[in-house]
């Protein structure tokens, strides 16, 4: 048996201590102190009106209680119209968004697109990802007027950024040999994409599309706040009038639909993958 | 993959049987019909006159909005600071609440898979499916407008997101390490601290920075419903049709989003 090394000799017989997360002492202290100073500054700049909060506790309790007896009936027709509009916007925007994001996703994949096309498509993706849905909705409402058209356009635009980026990343990570084998048979560009690239990315594309439909429905629930159609306007009115029973009913419906969509997309994804 | 005989009596390979291709065709038909119906409903509730007029309106807004009113930035420093605080404090609060929920929801650490786990999963689903703007609306109705409502809205919305990713990370841990620690005679809490936590710490750090980045985006618009931050200035400027201010605020928001995404990408690549 060889003698233990000097390094081991030095620590033998001492109690084990957890190694620190950050090795350098000064950096550890500086980061910790910085975080503390920031937290103190941040918390002190938040003004909380505790008496107002205390008053609100009753209302909060009333709201939580109203989940036990949601009121689907009183504003039944408003809820139904809003929900249908949300669903319609979701379906239409998902179809159009997915249809547009496929060519843009192809263009944004560096291994199949020439550089100028790549740059343009990446620019579109970056723009769409940087602007939040609600801001796009405000601008589109100002331009196209109130109604579901603005919401539909907003969701389509957001879908493009999300789906094209992930599709392009998937295409960039694909197995080149399969695509090359198709090329070697003398196929044209379309045949190459259709038989070499498409079968490799299709399962993931379907999975991501299902996920995006789910997100689109969730987002469509808030677009109504700025006048872009959907259930959001009804929900806003319910909160403004303190009609918590109706609000609870709407929230339960949203949660239910989101859960159903998530379950459905889980089933579909399990089947295609 | 059937082989079908054609009219001339030759056997031809086809990808699908006649029944399968009919079924697919019918599925496509149904899909197209649903889309057309949806589009009709949208088109019915649209004032097309405004849409045809849209390019002129867009050009009009653009000329009004340029150049941005740069001097307005002096009034924006405080809202920017508030926005940053809403996102950061909201993320911290969310993480404090998400960690126990995640441990209760993970199959290998939950105390009871039959009773506690479904409750934890319900918390995750319900907080995740409702947007932070809706949480903000609700909290404003309860505790009044202000930054505090924004922080709570961000925190509640983030619980589900963080807890979901975290419990998936907990379920994927290497079990041998946990067994090694418990073989030394460690208690339940010691197993957690030395067997489980070190394994999920990188995932935890990644998730918190990722969520912080998303929360910066979301907190910039929370002000639209009155929950503090730069969105308050945005809605004020929109309501008074002060387009040069709107364009400046949009530039600031865009800048904040890009910076936060850059920070989060840097930190995550350093950790993982």
Directed axis angle between helix A115-130 and helix A76-107, to 10°? 150
**Dist CA B35 CA A87 (whole Å):** 11
Q: Which of B222, B138, B48, B193 is nearest to A149 (CA)?
A: B48
> What's the rounded mean pLDDT across residues A1-25?
72
Lookup result for tokens 């999300």: A162
What pLDDT does residue B112 have?
Answer: 81
Judge whether B221 is closer than 8 Å to chain A, CB to CB. Answer: yes
Written as six digits, the tokens of B188 are: 């339940």
B-chain residue closest to A95, CA distance: B35
Written as six digits, the tokens of B268 are: 């995550």
What pLDDT does residue B29 have?
Answer: 94
Chain B: nearest CA to A19, how far in angstroms? 11
**Dist CA A218 CA A93 (whole Å):** 13
A-chain residue closest to B138, CA distance: A239
For chain A, the domains span 75-272
| pLDDT reading at B1 higher than 60 | no
What pLDDT does residue B140 have?
Answer: 86
DSSP B216-233: HHHHHHGGGGTSSSHHHH
What pLDDT does residue A2 have?
Answer: 59
B-chain residue closest to A50, CA distance: B143
Helix, strand, coil percentages, rounded to 5, for chain B: 80, 0, 20
* Residue in A57, A142, A229 closest to B61 by CB: A142
Which pLDDT band, with edges at 50, 70 and 90, does B37 fall under?
A: very high
- Among residues 63-82 of chain B, which lie with CB inside 8 Å of chain A? 81-82
| pLDDT reading at B7 higher than 80 | no
> What's the rounded mean pLDDT across residues A228-252?
85
Percent of chain A with pLDDT over 90: 20
| pLDDT reading at A4 higher than 70 | no
Q: Do B257 and A88 touch (CB under 8 A)?
A: no
Query: What count of residues does chain A have?
Result: 273
| pLDDT reading at A21 higher than 80 | no
CATH class label, B75-271:
mainly alpha
What mean pLDDT is reported for chain B? 87
**Dist CA B134 CA A239 (whole Å):** 10
Chain A: nearest CA to B200, how far in angstroms? 14
Which residues on chain B are in Cβ contact (under 8 Å) with A85?
41, 45
Lookup result for tokens 């084998």: A181
**Dist CA A101 CA B100 (whole Å):** 39
**Dist CA A30 CA A94 (whole Å):** 48
A-chain residue closest to B251, CA distance: A131
Q: Do residues A138 and A75 touch, judged by C-beta distance below 8 A?
A: no
Q: Assign B5 to helix, strand or coil.
A: strand
Which residues on chain A are in Cβ contact (under 8 Å) with B134?
221-222, 232, 235, 251
Which residues on chain A are in Cβ contact (under 8 Å) with B138?
63, 239, 247
**Dist CA B217 CA B231 (whole Å):** 11
**Dist CA B37 CA A95 (whole Å):** 13
State the first-to-last Cα distance of chain A, in angstroms, to the nearest integer: 53
Mutation choice for B interface testing from A45, A80, A145, A152 by most B CBs within 10 A: A145
| pLDDT reading at A268 higher than 60 | yes
Q: Say what the ipTM of the complex is.
A: 0.80
Tell which CATH classification among 1.10.3720.10, 3.40.50.300, 2.60.40.10, 3.40.50.1100 matches the domain A75-272. Answer: 1.10.3720.10
pLDDT digits (tens, 9 = 90+) for B118-128: 999 888 988 88
Chain B: nearest CA to A239, how far in angstroms? 7
Judge whether B255 is closer than 8 Å to chain A, CB to CB. Answer: no
Q: Do B224 and A48 touch (CB under 8 A)?
A: no
What mean pLDDT is reported for chain A? 86
For chain B, the domains span 3-49, 75-271
Directed axis angle between helix B54-65 and helix A133-144, to 10°? 120
Chain B: nearest CA to A40, how far in angstroms? 11
pLDDT digits (tens, 9 = 90+) for A44-103: 888 777 888 888 888 888 888 887 788 888 788 888 888 999 999 999 999 999 999 999
Directed axis angle between helix A244-272 and helix A198-223, to 10°? 180
Q: Do B47 and A89 touch (CB under 8 A)?
A: no
Q: Do B148 and A225 touch (CB under 8 A)?
A: no
Q: Identify the residue with better confidence: A270 or B184.
A: B184
A-chain residue closest to B57, CA distance: A143
Which residues on chain A are in Cβ contact (under 8 Å) with B238?
138
What pLDDT does residue A3 have?
Answer: 61
What pLDDT does residue B89 have?
Answer: 93
């Amino acid at each position: 048996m060889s003698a233990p090394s000097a390094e081991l000799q030095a620590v033998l017989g001492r109690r084990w201590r957890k190694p620190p997360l950050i090795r350098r002492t000064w950096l550890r202290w500086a980061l910790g102190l910085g975080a503390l100073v920031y937290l103190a500054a941040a918390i002190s700049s938040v003004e909380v009106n505790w008496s107002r909060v205390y008053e609100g506790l009753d209302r909060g309790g009333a709201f939580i209680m109203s989940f036990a007896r949601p009121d689907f009936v009183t504003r039944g027709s408003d809820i139904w119209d809003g929900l249908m509009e949300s669903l319609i916007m979701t379906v239409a925007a998902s179809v159009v968004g997915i249809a547009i994001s496929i060519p843009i996703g192809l263009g944004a994949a560096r291994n199949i697109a020439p550089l100028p096309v790549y740059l343009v498509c990446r620019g579109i993706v970056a723009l769409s990802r940087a602007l939040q849905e609600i801001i796009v909705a405000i601008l589109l409402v100002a331009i196209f007027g109130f109604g579901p058209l603005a919401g539909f356009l907003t969701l389509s635009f957001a879908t493009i950024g999300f789906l094209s980026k992930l599709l392009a990343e998937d295409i960039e990570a694909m197995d080149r040999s399969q695509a090359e084998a198709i090329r070697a048979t003398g196929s044209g560009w379309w045949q190459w994409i259709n038989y070499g690239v498409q079968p490799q990315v299709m399962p993931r594309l379907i999975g991501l599309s299902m996920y995006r439909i789910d997100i689109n429905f969730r987002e469509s629930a808030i677009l109504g706040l700025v006048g872009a159609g959907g259930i959001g306007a009804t929900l806003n009115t319910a909160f403004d009038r303190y009609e918590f029973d109706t609000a609870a009913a709407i929230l339960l419906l949203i949660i239910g639909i989101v859960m159903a969509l998530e379950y459905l997309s889980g089933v579909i994804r399990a089947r295609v993958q | 993959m059937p082989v079908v005989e054609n009219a001339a009596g030759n056997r031809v390979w086809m990808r699908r049987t006649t029944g399968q291709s009919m079924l697919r065709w019918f599925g496509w038909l149904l899909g197209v019909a649903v889309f057309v119906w949806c589009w009709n409903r949208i088109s019915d509730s649209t004032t097309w006159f405004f849409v045809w007029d849209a390019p002129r309106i867009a050009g009009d807004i653009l000329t009004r909005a340029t150049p941005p009113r740069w001097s307005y930035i002096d009034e924006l420093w405080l809202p920017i600071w508030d926005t940053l605080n809403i996102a950061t404090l909201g993320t911290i609060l969310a993480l404090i609440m998400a960690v126990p929920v995640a441990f209760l929801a993970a199959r290998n650490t939950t105390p009871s898979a039959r009773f506690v786990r479904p409750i934890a999963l319900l918390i995750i689903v319900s907080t995740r499916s409702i947007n932070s703007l809706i949480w903000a609306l609700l909290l404003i109705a309860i505790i009044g407008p202000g930054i505090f409502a924004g922080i709570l809205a961000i925190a509640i919305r983030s619980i589900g997101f963080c807890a979901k990713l975290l419990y998936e990370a907990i379920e994927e841990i290497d079990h041998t390490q946990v067994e090694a620690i418990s073989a030394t005679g460690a208690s339940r809490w010691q197993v957690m601290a030395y067997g489980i936590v070190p394994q999920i710490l990188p995932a935890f750090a990644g998730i918190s920075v990722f969520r912080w980045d998303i929360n910066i985006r979301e907190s910039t618009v929370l002000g639209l419903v009155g929950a503090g931050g730069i969105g308050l200035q945005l809605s004020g400027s929109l309501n008074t049709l002060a387009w040069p201010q709107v364009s400046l605020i949009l530039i600031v928001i865009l800048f904040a989003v890009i910076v936060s995404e850059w920070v989060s990408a840097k930190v995550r690549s350093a950790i993982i």
